[in-house]
Amino acid sequence: MATLVTGGTGFVGANIVKDLANNGHDVVSFDINGPDQLLQQFIGEAASKITFIQGDIVDSASIQLLGQGHQIDKIVHAAVYTVNRTALEIERSRDVIAINLEGTANLLELARTQKVTRFVYVSSGAAYGTALPSDQTLNEETPPAPDNLYGITKFSSEMITRRYGELHGLSTVSVRLSTPYGPMERVTGHRAVMSVFYDWIGRAVRGTTISPQALAGGRDYIYISDIANGIRTVLDATSLPHNLYNITTGIWVTYQQILDAVVELSPETVFEVPPLRPADSVGEGYSRGPLSGHRLFEDLGWTPKFELKEGLADYFKWRKYSGFLD
C-alpha cells in the first residue's frame, strides 16, 4: 500500500515526501514538475521508497490513472497555487481556482474510489484572513475570514474535504500551516514570493549584504521539518477527535529577531539598517495573529522540535552544503 502526496516536488511537498519515506511509508509523489537534481540530492537515500509521477491535478483522467497503477491507502494533498500578491492574483485568478478547488475535488474522488483510510488536506493560516487583530491568537474555533483567492480557496477546500468525508465515509482532515521556512523553498511556477529566510540566509551564505525593508513586522514562522513531522502525526494517527488542526509553533517572531539570529549564526554577515518609517512604528505589515497549536498537542501530543535558532542553523547548513545559492 502506498501514500500519495500531491505537490511532492514543491517546497512543502518535498519535505513531506522525504519525511514519510524515512518513516515507513512507500510514497507516490504526483506533481506537475518532475524531480530535478536539487530535489534528488535533498531526498537522498529515501529515494528508494518514492515513486515520482508527473501530472496535473486538474486533469481528472490522470488522477484516476493513479488509482489503477497504485494501491493507494492514504493521501496528503499538498499541491497548491500560492498567490499572495494582488497583481498575480488578478493575472492568474482562474488558475488559482482551478488548481486549488478542482484539484481538491479530483483528489477527493480518487480517495473515494480507492477507499483510502486517511485523507489530509494541507491548508494554510491564510484561511483565517487578515481582518482580525494582529495580537489575537487564532485557534481552530476562530471564525475564518479569508480575503484573497488563495485564502478563500483554501478555506473552501477545507469545507469540501470535510463534507466529502461525511458523505462517503472517509476519514478526512485539514491542517492549517503557519508560515514555513527551510530547505527546498525556491521560486517555481506556482510559488513566486519567497520568505525573508530564503532571502537573508541566501545572502549570508553568498556573503552579500542583507537589506531589510523593515524590521518591525513578523510572522509565526515554523521550520519545514516540523510541518512534515506534524502532518505525518495527523496522517498516521489511529483516530482523530477533530477534522481541523493548526500546525504551528504558536510563537510570533519579528524580523528583527530573525536578523539578529542570522548575524549570530554568521557573524561576518553585513546588513543595512532600514530607515524607520511610520508604518514600522505602529506595527503595520502584520497580516494576522499567530496560530494556536493547543488542539494538536491535546489530541495527539504533538509539539514542534525546532526553535528559531535551531531551524536557522539547519537551514543555513543545507543552503551552504547543497550548493543552492540562489
For residue 43, which of 64, 13, 79 has the smallest C-alpha distance?
A: 13
Is 81 annotated in the active site? no
Cα-based angle 172, 192, 28 (whole degrees, multiple of 5) = 40
Q: Write out the chain in H/E/C secondary structure.
A: CEEEEECCCCHHHHHHHHHHHCCCCCEEEEECCCCCHHHHHHHHHHHHHEEEEECCCCCHHHHHHHHHHCCEEEEEECCCCCCCCHHHHHHCHHHHHHHHHHHHHHHHHHHHHHCCCEEEEEEEHHHHCCCCCCCCCECCCCCCCCCCHHHHHHHHHHHHHHHHHHHHCCCEEEEEECCEECCCCCCECCECCCCHHHHHHHHHHHCCCECCCCCCCEECCEEHHHHHHHHHHHHHCCCCCCCEEEECCCCCEEHHHHHHHHHHHCCCCCECCCCCCHHHHCCCCCCCCCECCHHHHHHHCCCCCCCHHHHHHHHHHHHHHHCCCC
Residue among 159, 167, 301 at smallest CA distance from 244: 159
Of 81, 121, 128, 150, the active-site residue reads: 150
* Residue 58 Cα distances to 13, 30, 105, 236, angstroms: 17, 12, 9, 27
115, three cell numbers: 477507499
Catalytic site positions: 150
